[in-house]
Amino acid sequence: MQSTTGLLVIDMQVCAFDGQTYAKDTHGWEIHPRMKIGDEDKIVYKAQSNAFENTKLQQVLSSLLSPA
């Protein structure tokens, strides 16, 4: 969701497993247009209740702490 404060936003998108309703890249899975994902926002896809399990969240967070 686009930040109005200039802060980076990490969006977590819930995905069902392959073959299920709302699996990644299927009809109805898309992020709603009202979310207004910003160009600099990061999107992390998850299928588990734990946002770190089988996702790139740790990688995204680590990249933010690394010197540029």
User: Contact, 1 vs 9, CB < 8 A?
Assistant: yes
Q: What percentage of the chain carries pLDDT values higher than 90?
A: 37
Query: CA torsion, points 40, 61, 48, 41, in degrees to nearest 10?
Result: -10
pTM of the model: 0.76
39 phi, psi to nearest 5 deg: -60, -30
Q: What is the pLDDT of residue 4?
A: 64
58 phi, psi to nearest 5 deg: -60, -40
The one-letter code for the residue type at 22 is: Y
Q: What is the pLDDT of residue 5?
A: 67
**Which pLDDT tens digit goes with each residue over 22-42?**
899 998 888 988 888 888 899
Q: Is the pLDDT of residue 2 over 90?
A: no
Smallest CA-to-CA distance from 54 within 24, 28, 30 is with 24
